[in-house]
Amino acid sequence: MVSLLLSRSMNTQADDDSTLVWDRWLAEFEDCVCSRDTDRGRQLFGENVYAFGTRADVAVGLDNLEQDQWTPIWSNTQGFHFLFDSARYIVADDKSTVCVMVSWESHAVENGKKGYLRSGRCTLVLREDRNAPFGYVAMHSHFSKLPKAEF
């Protein structure tokens, strides 16, 4: 059963230690993208991850996620960061599963130079895993760019 929707802007009875763990998970992933460290990034995801990306329509499994999404995108990205104030967490009563929703920004790299700003949002489903670096692994991720208004 889901009992909590947590955010920084809401007055909730949030367990600060829990939100700190999920914030640290996000910060670690952010650092993996910026340093293009897919080995460290893999430690944050389950082997059977099911993902949607800005490049890969669907990536089933961690190897495909790395090959089809991370490698081509991370190599052409600078300054990736989450907008932590936008983060929302839907949390199972026992905290075994957390759905994270957060906005992000980065710059595309074009011809080796910082290019245009990319803005987007992501949804992550984290499952508790005591063997994982931050106690959770992502079983699903969905990264997308913000839709462009069409007039």
CA pair distance 57, 142, nearest whole angstrom: 10
Short-list 57, 104, 96, 39, CA closest to 77? 104
What does the pLDDT average to over 102-106? 97
83-96 pLDDT, tens digit per residue, is 999 999 999 999 99
Q: What is the pLDDT of residue 4?
A: 57
Domain boundaries, the chain: 2-145
Strand segments (E) across the chain: 2-7, 45-52, 59-60, 77-92, 97-110, 113-128, 136-145
67-79 in b/e form (b: 16+ CB < 10 A) is: ebbbeebbebbee
Q: What is the pLDDT of residue 114?
A: 78
Report the CATH fold assignment for 2-145. Nuclear Transport Factor 2; Chain: A, (3.10.450)
Least confident residue range of 9-23, 64-78, 112-126: 9-23
Q: For the whole prediction, is pTM greater than 0.85?
A: yes
